[in-house]
Amino acid sequence: MSAYSNWSTWASRLQLLPADSLSFALYILNKVQMGQNFASIKNYFFGLKYLHKSSNLPDPTENQIVINMFEAAKRLCSKKIGKKEPLRINHIQQLFEIFIGNKEKMTLTSSRTFTMIILGFCGFLRFSELSNLRTCDIVFCSSYIKLFLEKTKTDIYRRGNWTYISAGETKCCPVATLKEYMKLAELQPESNENTFRAIQVFSKEKREKLRSKNIPISYTRARELIIDAVKQIGLPPEAFSLHSLRSGGAPAAASLKIEDRLFKQHGRWISESAKDDYVEANLRELLSFTKSFGF
């Protein structure tokens, strides 16, 4: 067992089992000082915990000093999460002009890219939800579309979720964009085809078509498309990712004061903290608190 082997090497002159609580706390401190990542420290911690429990020995990991040291290691050694920037409404409008604004220059590839962007943004879609979308999961109604998401991160019982996206009043309309893409891609409604797939290019004939193999577009390829798209409107590519679609649509809706119940349902969040993590207050809202003092 690697956890025990590591512990026994460090504590060779100490009592190995059961481990002394203070010694074990110092052992964790040593790992922190050595600059080890938290994942390794966590493995050592729970490895020794399991060993003591399975041997019916007093567990040093339940000592408050050890717990405090473990929490300190978590704060000090955990990898910092670099959040990506969200796309904004003005970014979507710029991307529309580049990718499908000029119908004469529009290709199947550019139509697919923008359709993924606008649906991900408006539907608060995760990549897995977007990539697994089939044409039979799309229902066109008079003034909106319904997307059936068979599998979502928070749907633990796999009941599926319906997401509703309204038709727009401008040329940058998500419903019209999806219709145009499906027509261009020759996708059959109500079929089992994956909506977003790889594209085959016929250079001699100067045409494109979706590959017949019914496999969703890969994460790597979809990410490349989004990175290339933001570069074309002058944004730093390293600051954006596929999650920028979902994290962009959420604050855009929040700024319009959408009812909290509808907002949470549309984003398929199961907790308030998860939902609030997506909403970044704008400067006007932040200043409103001190402005309300009336000074």
User: Which of 128-132, 142-146, 256-260 bottoms out in mean pLDDT, i.e. has the lowest?
Assistant: 256-260
Q: What are phi and psi of 163, to 5 degrees?
A: -120, 135
Q: What is the CATH number that goes with domain 89-276?
A: 1.10.443.10
Per residue in 147-175, pLDDT (tens digit) is 998 887 776 667 778 899 999 888 889 99
Query: Residue 265: which residues within 8 A CB-CB, separation 6 or more?
Result: none
pTM above 0.85, yes or no: no
Per residue in 68-113, pLDDT (tens digit) is 999 999 998 887 666 788 899 899 999 999 999 888 889 999 999 9
Q: Which CATH superfamily is domain 2-77 in?
A: Tyrosine recombinase, N-terminal domain (1.10.150.130)
For CATH 1.10.150.130, list the domain ranges present in the chain: 2-77
Per residue in 25-36, pLDDT (tens digit) is 999 999 999 988
Query: Residue 77: which residues within 8 A CB-CB, separation 6 or more?
Result: 32, 35, 36, 37, 38, 41
Tell me which residue of 58, 73, 62 sits closest to 26, measured CA to CA.
73
Pairing status of strand 161-166 against strand 199-202? unpaired
d(CA 251, CA 280): 6
Banded model confidence at residue 271, pLDDT cuts 50, 70, 90: low
d(CA 36, CA 54): 27
